[in-house]
Chains A and B, each alone.
Chain A
Amino acid sequence: MEFEAVIGLEVHAQMLTDSKIFCGCSTKFGNEPNENTCMVCLGLPGALPVLNKKVVEYAMKVAIATDCKVAPLSIFARKNYFYPDLPKGYQISQYELPIAEHGRISIDLDGKKKVIGITRIHMEEDAGKLIHEGVGEDTDCSYVDLNRACVPLIEIVSEPDIRTPKEAALYLKKLRQILVYLEICDGNMEEGSLRCDANVSVRPVGQEKFGTRAELKNMNSFKFIEKALEYEIKRQIHTINNGEEIVQETRLFDTSKGVTISMRSKEEAHDYRYFPDPDLVPLLIDDAWYNEVKATICELPDDKIQRFVTQYKIPEYDAEVLSSTKQLADYYEETVKHTDDTKMASNWIMGDILRELKNDNIEIDACPVSPKMLAEMIKLIKDGTISSKIAKTVFEEMYRSKKMPDAIVREKGLVQVTDSGAIENMIDDVIAANPNQYEQYKAGKDRLFGFFVGQVMKLSKGKANPKLVNELLKKKLT
């Protein structure tokens, strides 16, 4: 029997607000334990939450960017459970009536668009962190750091529209890209500012009814998400083929072994006893506020790609790569302000620039070559001052020294030789220096042509116009 997987993702994104969701404490990462705390986020008796307006606006932005319906009235609820990192004994979240519902994100699946539905988006507070010491020893103990408690999160829940681990990864990448574009989340999965849980089930192809699902946790990178899903899907298919039943449960991904392990069964699942938080009033969003927030939303990746294709006449692939981050897209647009050759600009950015940045492990913002410098260099290529080959040298020097390209060309004497007389002289020298090869070529060994081109270029220190060298060599050798 052939099976297909049904996957839904629950993504938690940490909002980049300066202060926490229900108090004025800083959200700064890396401070001393419990430095960023007050009576509210410590859950002291009598302290009350006050909603951070910025968090609502960030959630609205995500909702608008994913085509969700923003609710004119939403409410906060308490999710009750005991754990030492949860100072109030409940997490303030949204349950019934979340801030937004019914959206979508489209992913590019081998050239085809696939739409993944968004069930809901809601706001909630993060929990703190436990630090364990001396595990397994007599002196073992745990410390509670509540700096992260009450840091704003939004949870984005997808419809069970995802069918493969690859689709899951594409969806997550796209969602991450939107969040980063909106500048409301840094998207860092390793540091936990973007976290992903998955609901996975399998069913025979053609069957409409969903199979029993497992919830997967602890997948803190794109790689692990694909691996965990692949493993889990195989495990479920294997279980069914063995004539066993799938158990509804929560499973943890063991990153070192690459397997998922049962964490708790449905029977052990918490009853969170959600109910509306009486300390917070219903959140009302009117048209004026909605429109105000909507107006602040930047151009999103999909729109940008389309615009790049039309405006700059570059292939969709180029537009996609260039739009992968807002900063890269801005870099490209700044570059083509100074040069007409939009495709050559695209090639240089996608090729040499991205390669160098990757080697140095830096972002485009820190690129030593400014858009202006790159455009200047492209101009030098276009007006024949330097060859594309020389341009590689110029680029490397530019990247290293941050000098303008024309200065580099001048200093290093890299101006292209386009004087046919000079090139002919060089060709004569090469033929004179290589009589054997010349004889062999004459005798019909055509592939030695390249050898002569190489020798001439070498003699010119790469500066000879390659096109001219070709033309003139052909004449001389026949």
Chain B
Amino acid sequence: MSLCNMAISELHELLRKKKISSLEITTQYLNRIKQTDDKINSFITVLEEDAVNHAIEADKIISKNDDFSALTGIPVGIKDLISTKDVRTTCGSKILHNYSPPYDATVIRKLKENNAVIVGKLNMDEFAMGSSTETSYFGATKNPWDTDRIPGGSSGGCASSVAARQCAASLGSDTGGSIRQPAACCGVVGFKPTYGRVSRFGLIAFASSLDQIGTFSIDTRDCAIMLNAVCGHDPADSTSAKLKVPDFTKALVNDVRGMRIGIPREYFIEGIDAEVLKAVNDSIELYRKLGATIVDIDLPHTKYAVAVYYIIATAEASSNLARYDGVKYGYRAKDANDLLDMYCKTRTQGFGAEVKRRIMLGTYVLSSGYYDAYYLRAQKVRTLITKDFRDAFEKCDVILTPTAPTAAFKIGEKTSDPLQMYLSDIFTISANLAGICGASIPCGFTSDGLPVGLQLLAKHFDESLIIQAAHTFEQNTDYHKKLPDLG
């Protein structure tokens, strides 16, 4: 019996009936990692010993209780920019290749409180800057559906590991699409909650006003289980929302009758791959058939989203990444003549090209004399984009779009053209700028057998609506049940 192919909900049921142990599950997943990871490179760090110990602990809890949390004993993976106490947390960068945080991120604490088993730290674009997981210091991650292709990014390892069943679910982060776009590329469910819904404490910042921790899972039910574990107010994060969190599994209702699904014309542009477009259009038709009301909506400032994003995100990044200076932790260049030399050499050698490009961009847009023209103006347009969504959600409950313009592209295809790479996030960026929640779910395959992602967006703190729409879609399709064959 391959436990790896099961959903969390199924594993939980078997654990509850004492048919299997967490140790068995964990051992199978660890073996699966051993068998497959040299092909796809999802993991930066595999925590074999820790995972086994946690599984044994979980089994003790399971043996003593009949009522235990849905994540007890379940193997999960963590994007390598979420701080894990005494476990190397690298951000996919040379500059943090040897850094082990002395504390757990709030979400890690919550997972541990739920007795989840953390199997390892997952690969990513360096400092989450990228859409292909090619910029990691620890090598590129490959798409389990086609190992010549990228898994998306920046949370490529999170998506590939869940698709390849190396872990039951994973936690990633989404700054401009870094959860949704790789989820689409790898054919899994990726969920970016509303900004403020999940504590960022311990999440190593790329762009603080856009970053949000979210989940990867094989289906929407598992997504709801993961969200239940990690969402909620955290006094250690001033930007976390003081709101009650609903039980997201309550939203697993197979019904979209009367739900108004908005289709923004601005997202159906030239340049979308025909097969992607067809899969998305078929999805719209399915929703219509299931009783949803399809409405046309406008998001008129969409065309500015990428530009605005690359100003705000890089500005914040230039400041957030200033702390990597070789003084306190992480990589320090040798043979520096003086302080400035140490800074320069450390950062020149420690950061990769894309990170340096964005630090320079961000430094530039914040510079005296340019601030008003770039950063301030970008913030104003950001407000307009937010208003677009507010207006749109007057007319609809959920917005439906393609997650990305194309399915997974070839490794190396866009590395020499940053602007082409940036356009991979063209449909996902706006949700981060507005702070709303969004998800990508599998909605079909290209003729090459590559997964296609469908993006669902809802207004702030309306995660349950997305879960309901996604769950209904799943109940009436079987795209999410297909798994890649890695031999």
**Chain A proximity of B460: nearest CB distance (Å):** 15
For A354, the chain B residues whose CB sits under 8 A away are none
Contact A271-B327, Cβ < 8 Å, known A45-B89, A82-B343 = no
Within 8 A of A (CB), among B115-129: none
For A280, the chain B residues whose CB sits under 8 A away are 238-239
Alpha-carbon separation in the docked complex, A271 to B371 (Å): 11
For A39, the chain B residues whose CB sits under 8 A away are 101-103
Binds A, one of B3-11, B63-71, B361-369: B361-369
Binds A, one of B217-225, B281-289, B316-324: B316-324
A12 at the interface (CB under 8 A from B): no
Out of B103, B339, B366, B368, name the residue touching A84 (CB < 8 Å).
B339
Binds A, one of B159-167, B183-191, B199-207, B438-446: B199-207
Alpha-carbon separation in the docked complex, A181 to B236 (Å): 33
Question: Nearest chain-A residue to B237 (Cβ)?
Answer: A48
**Chain B proximity of A42: nearest CB distance (Å):** 7
B426 at the interface (CB under 8 A from A): no
Out of A46, A78, A144, A278, name the residue touching B202 (CB < 8 Å).
A46
Interface bits B103-117 vs A (CB < 8 Å: 1, else 0): 101000000000000
Binds B, one of A86-94, A192-200, A419-427, A454-462: A86-94
For B455, the chain A residues whose CB sits under 8 A away are none
Question: Nearest chain-A residue to B329 (Cβ)?
Answer: A44
**Chain B proximity of A2: nearest CB distance (Å):** 36
Out of A42, A88, A273, name the residue touching B367 (CB < 8 Å).
A273
Alpha-carbon separation in the docked complex, A280 to B329 (Å): 25
**Chain A proximity of B169: nearest CB distance (Å):** 21
**Chain A proximity of B396: nearest CB distance (Å):** 29
Within 8 A of B (CB), among A49-94: 49-51, 78, 80, 82, 84, 87-90
**Chain B proximity of A157: nearest CB distance (Å):** 19
A261 at the interface (CB under 8 A from B): no
Q: Are B235 and A50 in contact (CB under 8 A)?
A: yes
B315 at the interface (CB under 8 A from A): yes
Out of A47, A278, A281, name the residue touching B201 (CB < 8 Å).
A47
Interface bits A346-366 vs B (CB < 8 Å: 1, else 0): 000000000000000000000
A316 at the interface (CB under 8 A from B): no
Alpha-carbon separation in the docked complex, A80 to B319 (Å): 7
Q: Are A46 and B322 in contact (CB under 8 A)?
A: no
Question: Nearest chain-B residue to A80 (Cβ)?
Answer: B319
Q: Are B83 and A48 in contact (CB under 8 A)?
A: no
**Interface of chain B, main secondary structure:** loop
Alpha-carbon separation in the docked complex, A78 to B320 (Å): 10
**Chain A proximity of B363: nearest CB distance (Å):** 7
For A42, the chain B residues whose CB sits under 8 A away are 328
For A274, the chain B residues whose CB sits under 8 A away are 366, 371
A103 at the interface (CB under 8 A from B): no
B228 at the interface (CB under 8 A from A): no
**Chain A proximity of B308: nearest CB distance (Å):** 15
Interface bits B433-454 vs A (CB < 8 Å: 1, else 0): 0000000000000000000000
Question: Nearest chain-B residue to A280 (Cβ)?
Answer: B238
Q: Are A279 and B323 in contact (CB under 8 A)?
A: no
Q: Are B101 and A45 in contact (CB under 8 A)?
A: yes
Alpha-carbon separation in the docked complex, A80 to B323 (Å): 10
Interface centre among A46, A80, A84, A280 (most CB of B within 10 A): A46
Alpha-carbon separation in the docked complex, A78 to B101 (Å): 24
B62 at the interface (CB under 8 A from A): no
A371 at the interface (CB under 8 A from B): no
Contact A45-B322, Cβ < 8 Å, known A50-B236, A87-B328 = no
Question: Nearest chain-B residue to A76 (Cβ)?
Answer: B238
Q: Are B322 and A88 in contact (CB under 8 A)?
A: yes
Q: On chain B, which size bracket covers the interface?
A: 35 or more
Alpha-carbon separation in the docked complex, A51 to B239 (Å): 12
Alpha-carbon separation in the docked complex, A273 to B319 (Å): 9
Contact A45-B323, Cβ < 8 Å, known A39-B102, A278-B208, A279-B208 = yes
Within 8 A of A (CB), among B343-382: 343, 363, 366-368, 371, 375
Question: Nearest chain-A residue to B83 (Cβ)?
Answer: A46
**Chain A proximity of B377: nearest CB distance (Å):** 13
A8 at the interface (CB under 8 A from B): no
Alpha-carbon separation in the docked complex, A46 to B103 (Å): 10
Alpha-carbon separation in the docked complex, A80 to B365 (Å): 13
Alpha-carbon separation in the docked complex, A324 to B71 (Å): 65
B91 at the interface (CB under 8 A from A): yes
A438 at the interface (CB under 8 A from B): no
Contact A46-B205, Cβ < 8 Å, known A80-B366, A89-B319, A275-B371 = yes
B99 at the interface (CB under 8 A from A): yes
Q: Are B237 and A275 in contact (CB under 8 A)?
A: no
A187 at the interface (CB under 8 A from B): no
Within 8 A of B (CB), among A20-55: 39, 42-51
For B236, the chain A residues whose CB sits under 8 A away are 48, 50
Question: Nearest chain-B residue to A277 (Cβ)?
Answer: B208
Q: Are B319 and A279 in contact (CB under 8 A)?
A: no
Alpha-carbon separation in the docked complex, A304 to B339 (Å): 52
Alpha-carbon separation in the docked complex, A48 to B316 (Å): 14
Contact A44-B102, Cβ < 8 Å, known A275-B366, A278-B208 = yes
For B315, the chain A residues whose CB sits under 8 A away are 275
Alpha-carbon separation in the docked complex, A274 to B323 (Å): 16
Q: Are A43 and B323 in contact (CB under 8 A)?
A: yes
For B209, the chain A residues whose CB sits under 8 A away are 278
Q: Are A46 and B328 in contact (CB under 8 A)?
A: no
Question: Nearest chain-B residue to A44 (Cβ)?
Answer: B101
**Chain B proximity of A362: nearest CB distance (Å):** 42
B59 at the interface (CB under 8 A from A): no
Contact A279-B238, Cβ < 8 Å, known A80-B366, A144-B327, A273-B363 = yes
16 new A-B contacts, CB < 8 A, other than A47-B201, A51-B238, A279-B205, are: A42-B328, A46-B83, A46-B201, A46-B202, A46-B203, A46-B204, A48-B237, A48-B239, A50-B237, A82-B322, A82-B325, A84-B327, A89-B319, A144-B328, A273-B319, A275-B316
Using CB atoms and an 8 Å cutoff, list the residues of chain B in contact with chain A: 81-83, 89, 91, 96, 99, 101-103, 105, 200-205, 207-209, 235-239, 315-316, 318-319, 321-323, 325, 327-329, 339, 343, 363, 366-368, 371, 375
10 nearest A-B residue pairs (beta carbon)? A89-B322, A278-B209, A273-B366, A278-B208, A45-B204, A46-B202, A46-B83, A46-B204, A89-B323, A271-B368
A-B contact pairs, 30 of them (CB 8 A): A39-B103, A44-B102, A44-B103, A45-B91, A45-B96, A45-B204, A45-B205, A46-B201, A47-B201, A48-B238, A80-B319, A80-B322, A82-B322, A82-B343, A84-B325, A87-B327, A88-B322, A88-B323, A89-B319, A89-B322, A273-B319, A273-B363, A275-B316, A275-B371, A278-B207, A278-B208, A279-B208, A280-B239, A281-B238, A281-B239
